[in-house]
Structure 1
Amino acid sequence: MLDYADYIKIFIGLLAIVNPFGAIPLFISITADQNEKQHKQTINLVAISVAIILLVTLFFGELLLRFFGITIDSFRVGGGILILLMAISMLHAKTSLLKQTNAEANESAQKESVAIVPLAIPLLAGPGAISAVILAANKSHAVSHYFTIAAGILLLSLIVWILLHLSPWISKRLGITGINVFTRIMGLILAAIAIEFIANGLKGIFPILA
């Protein structure tokens, strides 16, 4: 079991990676032709999907790494690089192509349901968030540790649900500039977290660096 400060750090890092604020402009664009009932259903499905994806990752992600013979230190370096690339995109106020390509964005406009793909995955619960959850889960093997992170994931999903419901109001009040400023701040935090992942992974792979 980690300290409360460590769990707060994990939660803030995950919030920065998921970045529901940054997803608001795309969410509004994709759901523009939906009526009120469809809009609410989409929001509910997005929040539930994000929770399920990250919870499954939390409890079974490490088993998947073992299946493929990947060490956690190697995954720390790889995941850290992935998150760093996302952070660099966020510092430029852009949606990372690691989350969604232009082809996926164009295809999503032709789908009846966009809640799971591309909104829940890969836009919100994408490779970066999945990597962060696996790395956080590996910090301890206590049952309470897993359930604390699970509670953080559920809280994160609730925040996603609330922000998507408030997306029209937020978009009007903050505008694209306000959302971009918030995205850049989250990107800076994310870059620091990514460097820490990479450094710890390299220390594990090359003990002489410790």
Structure 2
Amino acid sequence: MFDLKQIFSVTLILFSVIDILGSVPIIINLRKKVGHIQSSKATLAAGFLMLLFLFVGKSILSLFGIGVEDFAIAGALIIFALGVEMILGIELFKPDPEASTTSASIVPIAFPLIAGAGTLTTILTLKAEFTQANIAVGIIINLAIVYAVLKSTNWLERKLGKTGLDVLRRIFGIILLSIAVKIFKTALMSGDMVAV
């Protein structure tokens, strides 16, 4: 039932898309504004969204008359934009400075930083290639990583420094661009096959 190769692949893909390390500068900036980030609440909220989408995401989309390919293309465009943002060092998402620690932990950290449209699209796309059980394990591993990173943002800020964080953002930005192109191509090819 469980396949270590599949679990490793899913974990790596989701790790690149979630890009919790690339989000560290945003989290540090937000923490300075609201004072504290509730790591457990952010991780649990993100985990709930990701697992919900894994099990009933397709049904949710069908309620709105949206196909998985349509959602995948929309998500690919968002992932592409995030990758461009990270490579060029642009900040598109501006957190609300008036946000409380609880609301800031849920929005923007749990959603859209961790379980954003890109992550949710990737989870749906992965279902075409990997089993649901292996995807669930990959999600749980990533949630553990997310929790550990959220808990250690102070330490990461000191150890990596501004230059280290900038380099990480750009590396993961390039990975995200590649993932976006792959999702876009796969979704287009699936759409063409359905049309035929």
Q: Does TM, scored on the shorter chain, surpass 0.5? A: yes
1:137 aligns with 2:132: no
> Alpha-carbon deviations, 1:18-48, whole Å to 9, x = none?
11112223323333464xxx65xx0111111
TM (normalized to structure 1)? Answer: 0.80
Contact 1:80 1:194 in 2 (8 A): yes
- Whole-Å separation in 1 of the counterparts to 2:71 and 2:2: 21
Tell me the residue number matched to 1:60.
56
Contact 2:10 2:134 in 1 (8 A): no
With over 3 angstroms needed to count, the CA separation of the structure-2 counterparts of 1:128 and 1:108, relative to structure 1, is farther
- Whole-Å separation in 2 of the counterparts to 1:191 and 1:171: 25
Q: Which amino acid aligns with 1:76?
A: A
Aligned length: 193
Contact 2:42 2:110 in 1 (8 A): yes
Tell me the residue number matched to 2:46.
50
Shift of 1:13: 2.3
Shift of 1:3: 6.8
With over 3 angstroms needed to count, the CA separation of the structure-2 counterparts of 1:76 and 1:117, relative to structure 1, is closer
TM (normalized to structure 2)? Answer: 0.85
Q: Which amino acid aligns with 2:74?
A: G
Contact 1:62 1:138 in 2 (8 A): no
Query: Could you list the runs of 5+ residues in structure 2 that have no partner in the other structure?
Result: none
Tell me the residue number matched to 1:172.
158
Q: Which amino acid aligns with 1:190?
A: L
Residue of structure 1 aligned with 2:149, choices 138, 155, 163 = 163
Shift of 1:54: 0.7
Tell me the residue number matched to 1:118.
108
With over 3 angstroms needed to count, the CA separation of the structure-2 counterparts of 1:178 and 1:149, relative to structure 1, is same
1:189 aligns with 2:175: yes
Describe the SS at the equivalent of 1:21: coil
- Whole-Å separation in 1 of the counterparts to 2:27 and 2:178: 27
Q: Which amino acid aligns with 2:57?
A: G
With over 3 angstroms needed to count, the CA separation of the structure-2 counterparts of 1:80 and 1:3, relative to structure 1, is farther
